[in-house]
Amino acid sequence: MVMNWNIHELTAMRAFSQNLGLQFRHDGLLNPRIDGYASPIDKLQLPDEQLAAIDLENSTFRKRLQDGVCSTLNDRPPATGDDQIYTCGAGMVTFNVDPYGRLQLCQLARRSFFDLQANSFVNGWIGFLSKIRSCSRSKSSACDHCTLLSHCLGCPGASELEHGDPEKPVARFCRLTHVRMQRLLGDIPGHLPDASCCLKQNAI
Ligand code: SF4
């Protein structure tokens, strides 16, 4: 994790990994603790511009993002009203088990859990996690029609940690998505660099 406290060590950390012949990947997106406590984030999270610049320094990542954006930016279909909340791999290709034997969707989405001390993993995987994954969105927000959705840094798990509601977007991830994409592509039709276009609609 790269943050205000260790940003001065990023170059050295990269070099250290390279010297070991290992790949290096940083992550600058901070989430609250699993009990929801979030107060250090405003001190630790790097400013949006700085974080976007660091993320895009990696030419491979930049190219992959750019290629992906070009193929999806203009063709996001309008929301149908029955979109699933979880569209990532959580509960489909990955899961989380905490130290108390509770099966959860992912490391972030932990509020709903299945007790593996009393039940089998198969029942949790097939029954419990499938049921959560099949939940449809019940609220509308700017995300429903956002052309940046495929590249958004937010996710339902982060929203659950931040707001206790997997459907409520996280403002700082929305802002950072806009800053990053603006930096990558320049002006984006329908969007403003400060994310006010979407934040106003999301009322966050
Ligand atoms: S959080 Fe913001 S950038 Fe992400 S999908 Fe929603 S509106 Fe778009």
Domain enclosing residue 52, as ranges: 7-85+137-202
pLDDT tier at 47, thresholds 50, 70, 90: very high
Cβ–ligand 1 distance for 198 under 6 Å, the answer yes
Cα of 60 vs centre of ligand 1, distance in Å, is 24
pLDDT for the residue numbered 68? 78
Identify whether residues 123 and 146 lie together within a single domain: no
pLDDT tier at 192, thresholds 50, 70, 90: very high
Identify whether residues 69 and 27 lie together within a single domain: yes
Identify whether residues 129 and 175 lie together within a single domain: no
pLDDT for the residue numbered 51? 95
Residue 13 clears pLDDT 90, i.e. is over it = yes
Identify whether residues 19 and 74 lie together within a single domain: yes
1, part of any domain = no
194, part of any domain = yes
Q: Give the model confidence (pLDDT) of 161-183 as tens digits.
A: 999 999 999 999 999 999 999 99
90, part of any domain = no
Flag whether the pTM goes above 0.85: yes
Cβ–ligand 1 distance for 143 under 6 Å, the answer yes
Q: Give the model confidence (pLDDT) of 68-98 as tens digits.
A: 776 666 555 444 445 889 989 999 999 999 9
Cβ–ligand 1 distance for 149 under 6 Å, the answer yes
CA gap 109, 88 in Å, rounded: 12
